[in-house]
Amino acid sequence: MPRTIAISGASGKTGYRVAEEVLQAGDQPRLLLQEHSLVPEQLQGCDQHRLRLGDAAALDAALQGVDALVIATGARPSIDLTTPLRVDAWGVEQQVRSCERVGVQRVVLVSSLCAGRWLHPLNLFGLILVWKRLGEQALERSRLEWTVIRPGGLSEREEQLEQEGIRYSGADQQDSASIPRRLVARCCLEALNTPASIGQIIEITSSCDLEPIAMAQALAR
Ligand SMILES: NC(=O)c1ccc[n+]([C@@H]2O[C@H](COP(=O)([O-])OP(=O)(O)OC[C@H]3O[C@@H](n4cnc5c(N)ncnc54)[C@H](OP(=O)(O)O)[C@@H]3O)[C@@H](O)[C@H]2O)c1
């Protein structure tokens, strides 16, 4: 039976790819969006819920009955330096609390390499790495079955991904290198299908020089 997978930030460049991968897997995506979010043409027909993350009742209604949530929200570049705190810390915490209230057990969060670091150039944007770690901690302290995916620098490349291997590691093992958003989206889906990923922070970067392996195999090493 197809599962219903909610994706928040589904208008984002990683989020829409997660939704595409959900469709590809034969499951039903439910897109959680802001009022004015733009959804790519190919996802127009999907179930859509437009809301503010701070509106607990609307968030609860949007998550009602889903089998899992992939959190792909993230502060967009802005001159408002409070945005990372509001989206990457509070926004994630609001989603975690809502999952607890409505009984959505399984959550995958797209975070970032170096989450939790104070000294990092990316923190010039409102201490974003510090707030991302706070978002992760909200999940870790929850009663949910969670996985944190920490990707390296994200790229839009879609070509030759089948031969590209992923370097998987635990927390705070990698601090550079990149990965295409498509592979991040596939990892989110793979995490949902990999019980060993529950309760894990998984850092991912990719390279054509690496042999592709399953997430379960990487976690077993
Ligand atoms: N860029 C990188 O190299 C990099 C590296 C590692 C990790 N990451 C992280 O990976 C994740 C995905 O990145 P991305 O570049 O693919 O994302 P993106 O294209 O910037 O999309 C961000 C998504 O978050 C939503 N969002 C922003 N503020 C929101 C709010 N207040 N309430 C609800 N939704 C909100 C956006 O909605 P709208 O469309 O309505 O704006 C959009 O759907 C982010 O958490 C990002 O920080 C990025």
SS (H, E, C) 145-173: EEEEEEECEEECCCCCCCCCEEEEECCCC
Please spell the DSSP secondary structure of 187-202, one letter per residue: HHHHHHT-GGGTTEEE
Terminal Cα distance for the chain, rounded: 32
Pocket test for ligand 1, best of 11, 176, 187 (most atoms within 8 A of CB): 11
Report the nearest-CA residue for atom 24 of ligand 1.
73
User: How many angstroms is it from 153 CA to the middle of ligand 1?
Assistant: 13
For atom 38 of ligand 1, the residue with the nearest CA is 37
Mean pLDDT of the chain: 98
The residue whose C-alpha atom lies closest to atom 44 belonging to ligand 1 is: 74
Pairwise pLDDT comparison (124 vs 221), residue with the higher score: 124
**Domain containing residue 46: CATH number:** 3.40.50.720
User: What is the C-alpha separation between 171 and 189, in angstroms, rounded?
Assistant: 20
Please give the tally of structural domains in the chain: 1
pLDDT tens digits, 6-31: 999 999 999 999 999 999 999 999 99
Q: What's the CA-to-centroid distance between 196 and ligand 1, angstroms?
A: 26
Q: pTM for the full model?
A: 0.99
Give strand ranges (E) for 61-189: 68-71, 106-110, 145-151, 153-155, 165-169, 178-180
Tokens of 101: 């209230």
Q: Whose CA is nearest to atom 33 of ligand 1?
A: 34
Residue closest to 201 by CA, chosen among 115, 86, 105: 115
Query: Cβ of 102: how many Cβ atoms within 10 Å?
Result: 16
Nearest CA to ligand 1 atom 40: 37
Q: How far is the CA of 119 from the centre of ligand 1 (A)?
A: 22
59-77: b or e for each residue (b if 16 or more CB lie within 10 Å)? bbebbbebbbbbbbbbbee
Element (H, E) at 3: none
Burial class (CB in 10 A: 0-12, 13-18, 19+), 54: exposed
pLDDT of residue 201 exceeding 90: yes
Residue nearest to ligand 1 atom 6, measured at CA:
112
3-state secondary structure of 132: helix
- How far is CA 54 from each of CA 28, 86, 163, 190, 221, rounded to the nearest angstrom? 25, 9, 41, 29, 40
Q: Is 53 in the pocket of ligand 1 (CB under 6 A)?
A: yes
pLDDT band (50, 70, 90) for residue 213? very high
Give residue 221's pLDDT band: very low, low, confident or very high (50, 70, 90): confident
Q: What CA–CA distance (Å, rounded) separates 168 from 186?
A: 13
Q: List the domain range (segments joined by +) for residue 201.
A: 4-220
Cα separations in angstroms, 207 against 18, 110, 199, 213, 218 = 20, 19, 26, 12, 15
Does residue 112 line the site of ligand 1, with CB under 6 A?
yes
The amino acid sitting at 188 is: C
CB contact set of 167 (below 8 Å; sequence gap of 6+): 174, 177, 204, 205, 206, 207, 210
- Contact (Cβ atoms closer than 8 angstroms) between residue 190 and residue 215: yes
The per-residue pLDDT for range 132-189, each reduced to its tens digit, is: 999 999 999 999 999 999 999 999 999 999 999 999 999 999 999 999 999 999 999 9
